[in-house]
Amino acid sequence: MAGVLPTQSHQQLSSPSPLRELLYLAAPTVAQMASYTLMQFIDTWILAKSGTVTAPTAAANSGMLAFSAISLGMGVMFVVNALVSQSFGRKTFGECGRFLWQGIWFAIGFSLLLIPVSEIGPALFRWMGHAADLIEPESVYLRIVLDAAFLKLAATAIEQFLLGINRPFAVAVATVTGVTVNAVAAWMIVLGHGGLGPHGVAGAAIAQNIGVGTELFCITAAALLPSIRKSFNALDWALRPREMLTLLKMGIPSGVQIVAEVLAWSAFTLWVMAGFGTTAMAANVFVFRYMSVSFMPAYGISVAVTALVGRCIGQGRPDLASARANLGFKVTCIYMLSCGLLLFLFRRQLIGLFTTDAKVLEIGQKLLIFAAVYQLFDAMYIIYNGALRGAGDTLVPAIATGVLCWSITVLGARWVADHFPARGPIGPWLAASGYGLIIGTFIVVRFARGKWKNMPDQYSTNP
């Protein structure tokens, strides 16, 4: 019967240990957030075995641009988590399935809009000044990934729904399965094992789609289990204007915030760093692969914080919401500072996993120092931004992120590159590090001021 609270969920809600509750929810979300990054990391590493930096650089550049295009939809999908969590906390379980399906309907429409975007790839890469041998593989990878964007968007919507109703284990199983299938597929398709001819960059894109498709299949099967289907109204597939409007009111600012930042970092890599040549771009790409491995698990903890804050808000306990956010920051801070230490101490070995090119090694080691310092500011931004999203405070953080990221990380970094070229790739990274300090501090201060405590009521779908 819809609306009946399963025993497992009740036990987790009443858990006597806040840390255990956070880790119970965070571990699978870390796997979920890390899955897409791990797929790209694996594909880049396998492509690097070709002996040149062209193939992995092309795939990484296109992967970043593809994620920029998808990220607006991803931001809306993350708000499915907040809305489902708030409904779960209020014990209005029938709303959970309705918000899930609004997310799926949005994923369908948004993914259709992305298909023609892939066709502008060649012109865009030429405009950014990429070398001729990069443009063709970049365009191929972009087209293959964007044409299958629905797979990732739908999988994310269902995963956020399951996290909101306290079913994180299913998310963990689906993501681990997807990453494993991607690794096997990349080994076979990219390198030509198992009787298949090598397909290079195109094979990496195909392998990623296979992995994401597997993840979607597994997570859909979990959402259709009878206990979930009945208790949380998971087959209420109707397009509902009120719930859709609620999703869009919270989700569009969240999506704009994510796309503004992801697209800005893409412009930093594809436009600002392109001025220093393919060697510098390759070094920057390899550094970003390690940064992704560090900050995507942090985003996973942030998603867990979003769910917990939304759940506490639904229960009318903003004090608990604040405590859960602060706990999430402490855990993330320990993790990211540890990552920063590893990036600094083993910078030569880490870049050496991708290349033996002396110039790439030299530049990459320097940039990893900046990546190490960036970790603390990233932890501040990621966790407290997730907490604000759980409470429904998405508009102001979106505006601040978009303005600061583009003015400092893109335009400011480009200005430094043009006026102080002798500094090389280090110059733009000084500007990017300044952005991290400013936006991290801004988000922490906004959360501490507490205006978010009075915001959730405007997103209620109750009459």
Q: What pLDDT, on the 0 to 100 scale, is given for residue 330?
A: 93
pLDDT over 70 (residue 462): no
pLDDT over 80 (residue 109): yes
Q: What percent of the chain has pLDDT over 70?
A: 90
Residue pair 199/189 in contact (Cβ under 8 Å)? The answer is: yes
Residue 9, burial from CB neighbour count under 10 angstroms (0-12, 13-18, 19+): middle
Q: What is the pLDDT of residues 361-394, one digit of tens each?
A: 999 999 999 999 889 899 999 999 989 988 888 8
Q: What pLDDT, on the 0 to 100 scale, is given for residue 387?
A: 92
What confidence tier does 108 reach under pLDDT thresholds 50, 70, 90?
very high
Angle at 451 between CA 450 and CA 457, to 5 degrees: 120
CB count in 10 Å sphere of residue 176: 18
Spell out the alpha helix ranges (H) of 91-167: 94-114, 121-127, 132-147, 149-164
- Average pLDDT of the chain? 83
User: Which is more confident, 197 or 342?
Assistant: 342
Model-level pTM?
0.68
pLDDT over 70 (residue 10): no
Q: What is the pLDDT of residues 159-185, one digit of tens each?
A: 889 888 888 788 888 888 888 898 888
Distance CA 211, CA 203 (A): 12
pLDDT over 60 (residue 398): yes
CB count in 10 Å sphere of residue 225: 13
Radius of gyration of the chain (CA): 21
pLDDT over 70 (residue 346): yes
Annotate 348-369 with b (16+ C-beta within 10 A) or e (fewer). eebbbebbebeebbebbbbbbb
Q: What is the pLDDT of residues 210-237, one digit of tens each?
A: 999 999 999 999 889 988 888 887 888 8
Q: What is the mean pLDDT of residues 333-337?
A: 92
User: Which is more confident, 97 or 292?
Assistant: 97
